[in-house]
Amino acid sequence: MTFDLSSLGWDEQFGSAYARFDRPDHRPARVTRVDRGVCSVLGGDGAHRASVGGGLLAAAAHDPVRLPCAGDWVVVRAWPDDRSTIEAILPRRTAIIRAAAGAEALAQVLAANVDLVLLVVAAGRDGHPHRLERLRTLAWESGAWPVVVLGKADRCADLDAELQRLAEATPGVEVHAVSCFTGEGLAAVAAMLRPGRTAVLLGSSGVGKSTLVNRLAGRDLLATGEGTGSYRLVALAGGGLAIDTPGLREPGPVGGHPDPVPATQPRRLPLQVPGR
């Protein structure tokens, strides 16, 4: 099975960054999932598993931000014994970076190369203004475009009042109401995810992130329910892509962290601009 890399978000800028790595035993691929240091990647020749190369592991010993994450474009090396290793991460266009738990507060990259950050909330969940502000800041600092999604809208007793409250708590950010049960609002969210565009879903456990991804994908790809989320890139029915995430307990960003895989272009692109 072969894949058109452009359907995964590949473009000329990533191609230019890859050019210096191009050789017969190398290929570009996008990370779809990371499990205990082994990555699932998807490239032009299909899906593979690849371990992290020694150079990246040595760099990550001093800074975990240098490890691959869901959404990264990476350079995969094929070895004669059929092993595959990730030798480099191409410059990240955007990156969701937060402080990891612990006294040292090391940075952690949750997702990379996303165009949209869907801040998924539910009535009574993630609704505190301070938490919403932290989620919004985390999204803005990534360089991607934030959108608030009120999930489980069919369960909201006063939808207009809830939408007004969310709009006041997140000024400058679009707010959409969605019900995966009735289908309300799904078309508006799907329209943002044109082919090749990637969204990441952030929010507490239980607000409906995985269910929303399943509805946008048109099939049940992800387990749903409290605590079932994972960092996983999946293809959607309309040609876009989405990264599901576990519930965020501490969404605070890492202010001023020097991303060692720097951005390559100005970001925060408005949704109306063609392409990404």
State pLDDT tens for residues 168-183.
Answer: 988 989 999 999 999 9
Considering the entire predicted model, what is its pTM?
A: 0.86
Q: Is the pLDDT of residue 229 over 80?
A: no
Q: Is the pLDDT of residue 104 over 60?
A: no
Q: What are the structural domains, with CATH classification, of the chain?
A: 5-89 (2.40.50.140), 95-244 (3.40.50.300)
Q: Is the pLDDT of residue 265 over 50?
A: no
Neighbours of 229 (CB within 10 A): 23
Helices within the chain (DSSP H only): 12-18, 54-60, 129-142, 159-169, 186-192, 209-217
Q: Looking at residue 249, what is its pLDDT?
A: 64
State pLDDT tens for residues 120-158.
Answer: 998 766 667 788 888 888 899 999 999 999 999 999 889
Closest CA to 68 of 55, 78, 80: 55
Interior angle at CA 208, CA 162 and CA 164, nearest 5: 10
Tell me how far CA of residue 40 lies from CA of 8, 18, 60, 116, in angstroms. 14, 19, 19, 22
Closest CA to 244 of 207, 271, 269: 207
Asked if 229 and 247 count as a contact pair (C-beta separation under 8 A), the reply is: yes
The mean pLDDT of 229-234, rounded to a whole number, is: 82
Interior angle at CA 13, CA 260 and CA 197, nearest 5: 95
Q: Looking at residue 105, what is its pLDDT?
A: 56
Confidence of residue 207 (pLDDT cuts 50, 70, 90): confident
Q: Looking at residue 264, what is its pLDDT?
A: 42
Least confident piece of the model among 69-73, 144-148, 243-247? 243-247
The mean pLDDT of 89-117, rounded to a whole number, is: 84
